[in-house]
Amino acid sequence: MSAFVIDAFEFSRSNGHREGVTPVAEMSRLNKDCADDSGQIAWSVDGATHPQGYPQMTLSVFGTVKLVCQRCLTPFAYDMDSSTVLVLGKDDAHADEIEEILDDERIDVIVGSRSCDLRDLVEDEALLALPQVPKHEVCPDTGLLDELKAGKPSPFAGLKGLKSE
């Protein structure tokens, strides 16, 4: 069995702890959303028992990845720092029941596994930590955007004249 594959229920019961660093290049789903596959994600997973007795894991990811700004279309470094609490259910019905009982938006309830691959959980959390629309706070060079705006008239410009008729 791989060092990354755990029994999530036993890991939680025994207050397990794992941590590591994974290159973005090894995360096939994450690197599809990145400008390149440089960078790495540091992560940690801690097992525990929720105050109401359910097994839980706290998963944290942090690191810097390169994303493409959707405003100026240039790459930029994005600092990721995210943590989530995962409460484990035995199956879908049990997970739904726990979610209804806990009724806490800060906690994610998932179906646990006796052969849980931490790499998948880490990559899932890293993907969820990405912004929906990546962009610089202030774009460094708007030349390309200005060029695009100046080069073509808006396709809606013609509709403006129709409105007054």
DSSP, collapsed to helix, strand or coil, labels residue 157 as helix
- Contact criterion met (CB below 8 Å) for 75 and 52: no
Amino acid at 111: V
73 assigned to some structural domain: yes
Phi/psi at 121 (5° precision): -65, -45
Contacts for 105 with CB less than 8 Å, ≥ 6 apart:
none
Q: What is the mean pLDDT of residues 111-130?
A: 94
96 assigned to some structural domain: yes
Q: What is the mean pLDDT of residues 109-135?
A: 94
Write down the pLDDT at residue 98: 92
- How many domains are contained in the chain? 1
d(CA 60, CA 113) in angstroms, rounded, equals 19
Range of the domain at 79: 5-140
Q: How confident is the model at residue 96 (pLDDT cuts 50, 70, 90)?
A: very high
78 assigned to some structural domain: yes
152 assigned to some structural domain: no
163 assigned to some structural domain: no
Cα 57 to Cα 1, 39, 72, 113: the distances in Å are: 20, 25, 39, 12
